[in-house]
Amino acid sequence: MKKKIATARLVLEDGSEFVGWAFGKARSQAGEVVFTTGMAGYPQSLTDPSFRGQILVSTYPLVGNYGIPLDPKTGGPVFDERGIPVHFESDRVQVSGFVVSEVCDDPSHFACESTLSAWLDKNNVPGIAGIDTRALTERLREHGVMRGKILIDGTRDVTFDSGDVDHPVAEVSPKKVTTYPAEPTGGKRAPRVVLVDCGAKANILRCLIARNVEVVRVPWNHDLSEIDYDGVFLSNGPGDPKACGKTIATVRRVIAGEKPVFGICLGNQLIALAAGADTYKLPYGHRGQNQPCVEVGTRRCYITSQNHGYAVRGDTLPNDWEPWFVNGNDGTIEGVKSSSGIFSAVQFHPEGCPGPRDTEFLIDRFVAQVREAAGLPPDQPPRIDAGETRDGALARMKDAAAPAAAAKSAAKKTKGGAK
């Protein structure tokens, strides 16, 4: 017997309503309504901790056509050998709701183990489909992001403020310290980097580990004075950066020293606040995979992946700090750095996932700075393909090198025999 599809409404706090039908969990839910222009990567976007407490609108018309990649044995996320999610950016769905024009109930992909609707249902997240997401996006662009609620027929009503999250960073940040060891290179230890996790995407961990860095992952409000480290990485995360007073105080102490610091997304705002600059909320934010960013002082433009609702006020940067990147569309600050260049951050996601990895070289730059400051030799990391782990990349390189090594050995033997 075919399941009956319930009618659903998306109601915005300005009084506008959009009618469609429900998918996912049949429950009403409120949250801040934001939109993303990404054309793919919905499993990564929906599990991105930066979306905590928000109802996400997809401007791309069809969502769910390649399903959800899950572990066929457990029905949950696939984890690598270090316990890091392989296909997701965290171990759970982080959005409060999902709004699409059309949802696919018959996906096709070799890794698909669930439909989008069944996955959201399992994670207690409602969705609404069949609405004009173009009209909805235009409203959000004109009036700015606002509270909203998904109301499913047959379920109780909720208030707009019931979706508010007092401190989203505290919700998504880990509660304990975790260390991810690295192998020594060239007879010397690997550099140790503290990852201040304010809601870090899993691909940040993957990228650092791929560069043979020992990562010490700490909660957003952790005291770093008891940790011996070579550099600090400030992660992305949800909400207003000014709510992270303890993190800002920690960063202020760190940038008073001489060890490299690099931040992304929320980390860009935190390092700017710690330096003495100000931040503000954007009308509708930057969320998508095609935001153009221009490096200041050059004509280089990079296509970047972004997910943020706040930005740094460029005119409030101290004299020893400067804009590093600016947005090619609206001119907002997309990166800052100190005059020495040892403290820097970008507003976009150089690790991508979803989205382009064109600026992943910035992570290489940071790791090189850390190695130099720690007196360690440079390292040539393996190329990590999308969805691949460092161990998998090393195994792939070994397999690729085996025929060449065998041919070289055979040539040596032949040459020796000729003598």
Report how far residue 64's alpha carbon sits from residue 121's, in angstroms, rounded to the nearest whole number: 14
- Catalytic site includes residue 258: no
Q: Which of 265, 286, 293, 334 is catalytic?
A: 265
32, 89, 334, 351: the catalytic one is 351
Domain extent listing, the chain = 7-165, 170-373
One-character DSSP codes across 16-75: -EEEEEEEES---EEEEEEEE--SS-HHHHHT-GGGTTEEEEE-SSEE-TT-EE--TTTS
Single pTM value for the model = 0.90
Coil/strand/helix, residue 127: strand
Which residue in the list 286, 349, 353, 360 is annotated as catalytic? 349
Q: Count the Cβ atoms, other than its own, within 10 Å of residue 164.
A: 13
Of residues 279, 271, 337, the one with CA closest to residue 308: 279
191 contacts 216 by C-beta, under 8 angstroms: no
* The pLDDT value given to residue 367: 97
Q: What's residue 411's pLDDT? A: 65
- For this structure, is 265 an active site residue? yes
- Alpha-carbon gap, residue 235 to 245, rounded angstroms: 15
Q: What values do phi and psi take at 203, rounded to 5?
A: -70, -20
pLDDT score recorded for residue 94:
98
- Catalytic residue at 81? no
Q: Render each residue's pLDDT in the chain as its tens digit; 419 residues.
A: 356 689 999 999 999 999 999 999 999 999 999 999 999 999 999 999 999 999 999 999 999 999 999 999 999 999 999 999 999 999 999 999 999 999 999 999 999 999 999 999 999 999 999 999 999 999 999 999 999 999 999 999 999 999 999 999 999 999 999 999 997 776 789 999 999 999 999 999 999 999 999 999 999 999 999 999 999 999 999 999 999 999 999 999 999 999 999 999 999 999 999 999 999 999 999 999 999 999 999 999 999 999 999 999 999 999 999 999 999 999 999 999 999 999 999 999 999 999 999 999 999 999 999 999 999 988 766 666 655 555 676 677 778 777 766 666 666 666 655 44
Structural contact between residues 42 and 64, judged by C-beta atoms closer than 8 angstroms: yes
pLDDT for 387:
53
Burial of 317: CB neighbours in 10 Å, binned 0-12, 13-18, 19+: buried
H helix or E strand, kind and range, residue 377? none
d(CA 363, CA 120): 33
CA distances from 373 to 43, 192, 241, 367, 370 (A): 38, 12, 28, 10, 5
Three-class DSSP labels, 361-372: HHHHHHHHHHHH
In this structure, which topology does domain 7-165 adopt according to CATH? Glucose Oxidase; domain 1 (3.50.30)
Local structure of residue 225 (DSSP, 8 states)? G
Cβ of 419: how many Cβ atoms within 10 Å? 4
Q: What is 170-373's CATH number?
A: 3.40.50.880
Residues 6 or more apart from 111 whose CB is under 8 A from it?
A: 67, 69, 87
